[in-house]
Amino acid sequence: MEALSSSFLRKNTPSLDIPLCRTTLGKNPQIKFTVSSFFSRPVKKLITEKFAVKTLTSPRERVVQERKTKTKTSLHEIIFKPLNDFASSLFTDLSLPSFLDPKEVLSCNFAPVDELPPTACDVVEGSLPPCLDRAYIQNGPNPQFMPRGPYHLGDGDGMLHSIKISRGKATFCCLFLRTYKYLLEHDLGYPVFPNALATFLYTKFTADMAMTIARVLTGQLKIFINGFGTANTSLALFGGHLFALIKITSDGDIITIGRHDLHSRKGFLDTMTAHPKIDPDTGEAFAFKNFAIPPFLSFFRIDSNGRKQKDVPILSMKRASLTQDFAATRSSVIFPDIQIVVNPLEAIRGRSMMRVDLHKTPCLGVLPRYAEDESDICWIDVPGLNVLQVVNAWDEDDGDRIVIMATNLLRIEHTLEKTELTRSSMEKIVIDVKAKEVVARYPVSGKNLDFGVINPKYGLKKTRYI
């Protein structure tokens, strides 16, 4: 959940004038952090110092680093590696749009960084009060290998940046999430999975897809067993676990635990949104999954013990759309159906599978949060409302009204290709549940805002600050 993606590590505005590079963090990096607080004490500054890396012996710890020997030559090296090199060479002189050109996408502040083991930080000014004792974690895409073909900013491998503060001391580290994709590509030494978002947006990206299908059919990629996600979007704390499954150890290290089936064991198709909603009072999590084939969206609940409950297919959604996020309150869940649509058949025609349909009217689907089926869902047309990310939502007037704080994509026609022309408006949306209509909607700021967060303790409750 975004609320756990700490803004403790500030990102600067990138400049594409800086050449593409990979930032290397050595054993003695001079990384500076500034921590501000409401206390009357001076601003605290942290600077890394020399450290000793702890040796980890558990089979789960440093899985990739412990793989010292290669297995016998596989089909990857015999067949697919030469084909991969050939396919990649086809893109060498290809003119890519700027939003898919890795030389532009992965520049400056978005350039990939190397891992950094737990690094002790020295407090050089002021002190860190006990109220700051916790782990501040940020998730985001960071490609393990530099792509040679089309690449979208959201396609990178998941990397967690963590600062753990305890007893006046701080430890920083950044490590990749050990997904199946990451481990396999690390062992092989080159990428084998196509860049998913680039595949949806680039019409000629077919060679990589063909090789991926061949790898799956020959058993070289076991995606139906191990999945193929990057775990790069967000973090959520529920059912006694921090998802995208990681573990913060006593020395501030980050360790991937592995995939979690939420005790459902339904396999490959049992996916989940990267933006679950957590009820801090009940400990329940609410989530959904979407597909490019019917049912295009299914809703489900995860109880306080971390057990997934049955799916509620939303069959009234007639087309696949980019439902990135949703809202939840004490009484309802609300799904946005926006103007960005998905159709895999377009790839056969040499077109992008994802496009903007300006003739479609955006709408919101309101469903009781404990619904057993979709019979009580209500779809409300809201022209001009394309919700990409929801900050919070709550009930008012004993559940007769729902208030949603969300970002609305303005200039939706530029969202997929000319992102520099798009704007996001933070809006307050009020739904009259009985009248089945939006009765109020207005921006809360004139600034270009997105990815807002709140104190997670106020999830599903009326929020004053974002």
Q: How far is CA 269 from CA 208, 223, 230, 293, in A?
A: 22, 11, 16, 12
H helices present in 170-303, as ranges: 180-188, 196-201, 207-217, 223-226
Comparing C-alpha atoms, which of 251, 53, 54 is closest to residue 169? 251
H helices present in 44-179, as ranges: 75, 81-89, 102-105
Binding residues: 275
Comparing C-alpha atoms, which of 361, 343, 360, 340 is closest to residue 351? 343
Sign of dihedral through CA atoms 198, 201, 204, 209?
Answer: positive
416, 373 contact by CB (below 8 A): no
DSSP letter for 113, please.
Answer: B
166/188 Cα distance (integer angstroms): 38
The amino acid at 7: S
End-to-end CA distance of the chain: 15
389, 324 contact by CB (below 8 A): yes
251/119 Cα distance (integer angstroms): 9
Question: What are 425's strand-pairing partners?
Answer: 408
Comparing C-alpha atoms, which of 388, 400, 399 is closest to residue 362? 388
191/249 Cα distance (integer angstroms): 30
Binding residues for Fe cation: 275
Helix (H) or strand (E) holding 382: none
138, 172 contact by CB (below 8 A): no
DSSP letter for 75, please.
Answer: H
Please name the residues in contact with 248: beta carbons below 8 A apart, sequence gap of 6 or more: 135, 137, 162, 164, 242, 254
